[in-house]
Structure 1
Amino acid sequence: MSITGGQLRVVAIADADSYVKWAGALLDAVPDIRRQMVLVRTPLTVSTDQEQSALAGTRFTSDDVARVDYTALAGWLSHARPDVVVIAGRGPFVRVVLRQIDRIHPRPVVVTGMPGISIPAQRGALTYRRESDLFVIHSRREARAFDDLAGRLGVDVPVGLATLPFAQPVTPHRTGTDLVFAAQALIPTTTGERRELADILRAAAEASPSRRVVVKLRARPGEQETHFERDSFPDLLRDRPRNLVFSHQPMSAALGRAEGLVTVSSTAAIEAIACGVPVIALDTFGVSKANLNTVFHGSGLFGDADDVIARRFRHPSLAWMDENYFHDPAESTWWSQVEDLVSRRRRGELPERLQPRRRGGALREAWDRKSVLGYEDRTLAGSVAYAIGVPVREALLTARKVRGNRGRESWSDPTTDITITPALRQDPMLRRRPVRT
């Protein structure tokens, strides 16, 4: 439906690199709106270089992006008076930003979402975003999974289907020769597996010395990315052939020179498919929810180390594509749902989905804030909550490891696309202060 009364003003609120990229591309695909982005200062906030890379190819310019402290966010939004905000960040970030939005009158329509492949549908992904007016996902399969998860958890969050915004079909303009590897912070998990993967990449470079192996990284030294990385590939590949190189350019640029892409489970595989670049989804470390690669079942993309070294890339099946990220764009209803929500809000027919008071009161709110803002939170309450909460958090994580994630709909259950048990991994509570450029 159309909205009367001029262009809608839409503000994306983000911090980390993958979410800045997602929000920028998502809003860039919507015509006839006034779009802005505000970056909240947290330990994960993108550097200027990361911002430019994440927003490359969109209509966002530096003038469209503001950087604000968390405590100034409500005031900034009250002055901007957006019709819609898109909160683009990890679950804890969404929760603390929603507290600021609850202070705004009139309250904008709140949209949240996931920045890429979201199979399995995870408990935290939904529960942290339960007070949003619309939750955006990017495939029919994800829609079914999150509907199933919401029903099992008793969470009422409207789901909107979008086309993955940075995976639009593109006709390759040249024949590439690079093997592009999309590095991930979390996958593989162990030091041994990451060393084995580094050895595979080294062997691929040695097998074809006239062609490059390009390790596409998300962060330069001193920068942060969405998830904390242990055993980085620059460290693991200090001893490498001359044709094995690192790149920080946008993925779209890397794919322009690619013969094929290798990943374990990165959303970069979807970007590559959209560009007509063949893929190997590496299954050397297993296919499991824990490796976030069960989404590739039935795609025909799985391959092992020998396939990578021999560069035996492959294209996915059409049936898999239709269910996973390449549905007909006409089925993507998220923006029409947003327009309807704005109209209902203006007519006073849309209840505000305010956050309830959480158990633990002010101390719990201080903990939530400190866990997201880190050193950017300088309050006494945050310091007290951190001192009290860290031992409690460690005890809970230890108990979770002992109890495990077993049973139906857990991380170990291969028969479903959902997990109702908590996340397997937790990033460090506090990160080092990154370099700001």
Structure 2
Amino acid sequence: MPASTANPPRIAVLADSDTRWKWGALTASRIAPIEAGSGDGAQVAPVLDGFLLRGRATPTPRQLAEVGVHADSMREVTAVEFLRAMTQTSYDVLVLALVGGGVQAVLHGLKRVWEENSDRRVRPVVVTGYVGVVYEKLADGLLLRHGADLVLANSRQDAERFSAVYDGVGADSSSVTEVALPFLGGAPYEGEHDPYTVVFAAQPSVPESRKDRTYLLNRLVQHARLHPEREVLLKLRSRPGEHTTHIEELPYQKLAQRLDLPANFRLVYGNMGEVLDRTDLMVTISSTAALESLHRRIPTVVLSDLGVREALGNHHFVGSGCLASWDQLDEGHRPTPDEEWVSRQGVAADGSYATAFDPARERIAKLLDRPGGLPPLTPYYTPATAPGYLPGILARHHLGPDGSPLPGAPAHDKDPGPVRQIVRRAARGAYRHGVQRVAPVIRRMGEL
């Protein structure tokens, strides 16, 4: 039977920011079960329904377009609206691309609604994981994700750490599944471009202080002046007024307005893969962009100028061979990554990336073929095991301790009218203005 005649798998992705939508959608495409009726064993493109969790970081149309992942449908929802949607459409796989608290709330909500709909014997396989490097709140984030059928680990190192945490608290660790970051790819680095291009991958919340961010910007500009033959790019995640996974109180765009920038220095946006196509030296504090760069064997530097600290996340790169300072870069230093370290990080620069998602796909296929359907979701946290913690997590998403909607939870809003859309945009704009304009002023006044 030709592949085109097979029924494609249906996957839903719930995301709360642009970066998590990118991770969730690309993960969905890589773990989609192979349709048995495709004849030649080829993977049939899944039907992908996107759901954006309404909140401060809900991505704008521009951010979604920049990700470059097509969805067959896209809706903005609250948690309660999403739970209702899960009782109305049958899916093979559900990917939860959310912060830990959001994953835990949705897991409890799904457990409730699927138990109430006893006539629905088959539920989707629930998958979750992390967007990138896990360098903080390891136990907290993992236990909030426990209860999904698959908890994806982006590397061998993460898989070992995840299993150790679950085993250490007596939770089932069989859900931990080693894969890789879903957005790696692109042509391997083959040599210097003309002009030689240095890219600094900025992060919204690392570092946080004006002093540290100004220092990094000044050193980047200084590098451009010291090397006028090079092109120096500041790669930004979002434009002013937009939010991504983390709050950015001091956008580099704002700081750069006060500087006299050299002609070979530019601010750039867009898809990171396209920027890496012309990169000769990737520089960052701790961005996942470093792993994308290492995957393509592009010379990569993780800055040590502000220290090697857990708060910055660059401690994750200890042993990588990539730590260096701006002084060293100004003098022409090019790091050599440690191959053993790279292989443990899921970077798959050795060519194994093509098969990295096979174990997850095989596990999903087995779960979907389970006689009688899948068992109820069983998160580690319950009202009995975490009575002082779980109710607050659920309440933030208008859910009660048993996962049911609280009185007064936002009503279903399938097609909000133009007035409501305007109000929502205005509310988000006011919030972002408060974060990026008002909050820094109040903080400085408090330091007087």
**Residue 324 (str. 1) matches residue 345 (str. 2):** yes
User: Which residue number in structure 2 is paired with residue 148 of structure 1?
Assistant: 164
User: Which residue number in structure 1 is paired with residue 85 of structure 2?
Assistant: 76
Aligned positions of 1:249-398 closer than 5 A: 249-327=270-348, 328-329=352-353, 330=355, 332=357, 333-344=359-370, 346-348=371-373, 350-353=375-378, 356-357=382-383, 359=387, 364=392, 367-369=395-397
Local SS of the residue matching 2:216: helix
User: Which residue number in structure 2 is paired with residue 162 of structure 1?
Assistant: 179
How many residues in Structure 1 have an aligned counterpart in Structure 2? 374
Deviations for 1:325-353, whole angstroms, at most 9, x for unmatched residues?
Answer: 13434454222122222222x53463432
Q: What is the rounded CA distance, in whole Å, between the counterparts of 1:350 and 1:236 in structure 2?
A: 53
**Residue 136 (str. 1) matches residue 152 (str. 2):** yes
Q: 1:311 to 1:10 in 2, by over 3 A?
A: farther
Amino acid in structure 2 at the alignment position of 1:161:
E
**Residue 213 (str. 1) matches residue 232 (str. 2):** yes
User: Which residue number in structure 2 is paired with residue 227 of structure 1?
Assistant: 246
User: Which residue number in structure 2 is paired with residue 92 of structure 1?
Assistant: 101
Moved more, 36-45 or 117-126: 117-126
User: Which residue number in structure 1 is paired with residue 143 of structure 2?
Assistant: 127
Q: Percent identity?
A: 26
Deviations for 1:122-166, whole angstroms, at most 9, x for unmatched residues?
Answer: 122112111211100111111111122223333334201112111
Local SS of the residue matching 1:222: coil
Local SS of the residue matching 2:65: helix
Amino acid in structure 1 at the alignment position of 2:170:
G
Q: What is the rounded CA distance, in whole Å, between the counterparts of 1:169 and 1:320 in structure 2?
A: 21
User: Which residue number in structure 1 is paired with residue 210 of structure 2?
Assistant: 191
Root mean square deviation, CA, Å = 3.0
Q: 1:350 to 1:431 in 2, by over 3 A?
A: farther
Deviations for 1:291-314, whole angstroms, at most 9, x for unmatched residues?
Answer: 212232222111101133345333
- Asked whether the 8 Å contact 2:16–2:55 carries over to 1, the reply is yes
Q: What is the rounded CA distance, in whole Å, between the counterparts of 1:194 and 1:182 in structure 2?
A: 13
User: Which residue number in structure 2 is paired with residue 15 of structure 1?
Assistant: 16
Q: What is the rounded CA distance, in whole Å, between the counterparts of 1:144 and 1:366 in structure 2?
A: 29
Aligned-pair distance for 1:120? 5.2
Local SS of the residue matching 2:230: coil
Local SS of the residue matching 2:242: coil
Q: What is the rounded CA distance, in whole Å, between the counterparts of 2:335 and 2:323 in structure 1?
A: 9
Structure number with bigger Rg = 2
User: Which residue number in structure 2 is paired with residue 390 of structure 1?
Assistant: none
Q: 1:249 to 1:25 in 2, by over 3 A?
A: same
Q: Decide which of 235, 238, 241 is 2:261's aligned counterpart.
A: 241
Q: What is the rounded CA distance, in whole Å, between the counterparts of 1:139 and 1:283 in structure 2?
A: 24
Q: What is the rounded CA distance, in whole Å, between the counterparts of 2:280 and 2:327 in structure 1?
A: 17
Q: 1:270 to 1:364 in 2, by over 3 A?
A: closer
Amino acid in structure 1 at the alignment position of 2:172:
D
- Asked whether the 8 Å contact 2:224–2:232 carries over to 1, the reply is yes
Q: What is the rounded CA distance, in whole Å, between the counterparts of 2:104 and 2:205 in structure 1?
A: 23
Amino acid in structure 1 at the alignment position of 2:363:
Q
Q: What is the rounded CA distance, in whole Å, between the counterparts of 1:116 and 1:208 in structure 2?
A: 32
Gap runs ≥5 in structure 2:
1-5, 32-42, 400-404, 411-427, 434-448
Aligned-pair distance for 1:224? 0.8
Local SS of the residue matching 2:166: helix
Q: 1:146 to 1:93 in 2, by over 3 A?
A: same
Q: What is the rounded CA distance, in whole Å, between the counterparts of 1:325 and 1:271 in structure 2?
A: 10
TM-score with structure 1 length normalisation? 0.77
Q: What is the rounded CA distance, in whole Å, between the counterparts of 2:198 and 2:398 in structure 1?
A: 41
Q: What is the rounded CA distance, in whole Å, between the counterparts of 2:287 and 2:306 in structure 1?
A: 14
- Asked whether the 8 Å contact 1:363–1:381 carries over to 2, the reply is no
Aligned-pair distance for 1:362? 11
Local SS of the residue matching 1:110: strand
Q: What is the rounded CA distance, in whole Å, between the counterparts of 1:380 and 1:231 in structure 2?
A: 36
Amino acid in structure 1 at the alignment position of 2:159:
A
Q: What is the rounded CA distance, in whole Å, between the counterparts of 1:433 and 1:120 in structure 2?
A: 26
Q: Decide which of 205, 213, 219 is 1:200's aligned counterpart.
A: 219
Q: Decide which of 55, 61, 74 is 1:48's aligned counterpart.
A: 61
Local SS of the residue matching 1:45: coil
Deviations for 1:392-416, whole angstroms, at most 9, x for unmatched residues?
Answer: xxxxxxxxxxxxxxxxxxxxxxxxx
User: Which residue number in structure 2 is paired with residue 421 of structure 1?
Assistant: none
- Asked whether the 8 Å contact 2:96–2:127 carries over to 1, the reply is yes
Q: Following TM superposition, where does structure 1 have runs of at least 4 consecutive aligned residues deviating by more than 4 angstroms?
A: 172-175, 360-363, 377-382, 430-435
Q: What is the rounded CA distance, in whole Å, between the counterparts of 1:431 and 1:112 in structure 2?
A: 30
Local SS of the residue matching 2:132: coil
Amino acid in structure 2 at the alignment position of 1:350:
P
Amino acid in structure 2 at the alignment position of 1:339:
A
Aligned-pair distance for 1:180? 1.0
User: Which residue number in structure 2 is paired with residue 396 of structure 1?
Assistant: none
